[in-house]
Amino acid sequence: MRQWRVGTFSMGLLLFCTGIGLLYAQFQPTPVVSSILKWWPVIFIILGVEVLLQSYLNKGEESRIKYDIFSIFIIFFIVMGGMGLQVASKAGLSNYIQENINAKRYILPANHEIALDKDIQKVVVEAGFGPHLKVRTGTGDSIQCHAEAEIRAQSEAQARQLLQEKTPLNTRRNGHTLYLNLGFSPANNCYCAAYSLILPEGLAVEVEHGDTPVQITAGHISNDWLIRGDGDLNITLAPQSNLMLYALVPPNQQLKGNISWTSPEGKPLKVDLQKEKDWQEESRPGEEAIQAQAQLGEGRYKMTIIHQRHEENEISVNQLP
């Protein structure tokens, strides 16, 4: 009795056609993926023709077709794979995969300006778990935002079009407070690589930066600031600053820079250690945070730094000479 492995001819023909398609794709700009996703049902036609042809040519009792385990497995795999591809195509998954395979990475600048109403007294910057943030102060009466957007698209023209549909920040207002939420929506493969803000010097500012590293270059601040987060913080202050600095940090946190910090009782704190006990001793959960303060000029306005996590992230405050 002769046994025929159903699917052997189909698999051979499929491999042959795939090789021809891949070779053809080397000389054509059209991606082979689109052709595969379009012509995949042909494999069912090839397999069905093979079975019908073998059944017709082997009508005798001794030469009838036998299905071995390998053939059954191949047929089951092909049928389930075909059904999966059909479902993925209807759900748009195949188009999504094709777009991402052909997409390239572009980094483009995005600028945005927010005109402030006269009754806005405070700005809250929400930048938790985001990219690197730079903040500067200026003499204008608007907020300037510069961002670098990372976009995956088929071309640079498409990337720019996607960028025009996005804004580097989202705003909302509550009374006299304006909230700025930094972050592109991850939809359409649009992300942000870095942010730079210019804030008016006369506004009260609150920065909630979470784990995001923040670099602040402040001019002549004329209002109170609150900076709260756990990421690295680097602050540069103008020579004639009129600030009272307050810091509330964990016991194992260093306060770096050229500022002369003191305890609330007026006792000087070492710049490199900022605590009386040995740096090598590990802090314990529940241990009281360190309170430090420093006065620049008459100390008319307050800048408060709150760092809560027990990690050795850098906090550096420097005043320009």
Q: Where are the domains of the chain?
A: 8-101, 105-319
pLDDT at 6 (0 to 100): 47
Do 153 and 189 contact (CB within 8 A), yes or no?
yes
What pTM does this model have?
A: 0.66
**Residues constituting the chain:** 321
Q: How does pLDDT run across 103-156, given as a tens digit for each residue?
A: 788 888 888 899 998 899 999 999 866 678 999 999 888 999 988 888 877 788
pLDDT at 93 (0 to 100): 62
Q: Which residues of the chain have pLDDT under 70?
A: 1-40, 43-44, 47, 50-51, 54-68, 71, 82, 85-86, 88-102, 128-130, 167, 184-193, 270-287, 310-312
For residues 135 and 218, what is the distance between their CA atoms, to the nearest angstrom? 8
For residues 33 and 25, what is the distance between their CA atoms, to the nearest angstrom? 9
Name the packing angle between helices 8-25 and 42-57 (round to 10°). Answer: 150
pLDDT at 18 (0 to 100): 60
Structure-token pair, residue 238 = 């103008």
- How far out from the chain centre does Cα 145 lie? 18
Question: How many other CB atoms are there within 10 angstroms of residue 53's CB atom?
Answer: 11
pLDDT at 11 (0 to 100): 58
